[in-house]
Amino acid sequence: MNARRFAVAVLAIFIFALVWNGFVHMVLLKEAGLALVGIARPAAERNMALGLLLTAGIATLFVYSYVSFVRTPGVRRALGHGVFFALLAGLLVDLNQFFLYPLPGSLAVAWFLFGCIEFCIYGVLVSWIYPIAAPPVAPRAASQAARAGL
């Protein structure tokens, strides 16, 4: 693992996550978020340091899982990793929140869709910053491909 590229990818995703979530929740879904006023912790009581730590943790887990499990290079595979992460997060967070709290279904769906876009962008970012090397071609497979004209 390349520690420098890993740190740069985590930092890039962390910064993007802060900007993206600020835009989505404070601009695009501001009105829809009013449905949370009666059940959410008031803004003054929210722990900013914990929120930043959680964002850094998600960025770190995303990059670590990409580096550890994605073996095929390319944006397509990185987008697939983003979709996998989005589905995981969507089930654990958005659907669970909808199940537990009296939220409008449209808000949970919006969270999920914006989360899918967010994690796909994470995938593109990490594939650009931390490209996966193509696996080496086995000598026998290379000679067979050469004979076949590939």
SS3 1: coil
CA distance 31 to 47: 23
- Amino acid at the residue 120: C
The pTM score is: 0.81
* Residues 5, 54, 61, 96, CA torsion sign: negative
Q: What is the pLDDT of residues 3-49, one digit of tens each?
A: 999 999 999 999 999 999 999 988 998 887 776 777 667 777 878 89
Alpha helices by DSSP H, 1-150:
3-23, 48-69, 75-89, 96-100, 105-129, 139-148
CA distance 149 to 104: 58
CA 63 – CA 116 distance, rounded (Å)? 16
pLDDT for res 102: 83
> For 44-48, which contacts have Cβ atoms below 8 Å and span 24 or more sequence positions?
none
Confidence band for 146, pLDDT divided at 50, 70 and 90? low
Q: How far apart are CA 60 and CA 146, in angstroms?
A: 41
Q: What is the dihedral of CA 77, 108, 19, 123, to 10 degrees?
A: 0
What confidence score (pLDDT) does residue 139 get? Answer: 65
Question: In the numeric block, which tokens belong to residue 38?
Answer: 């009666």
Structural tokens at position 63: 């990059």
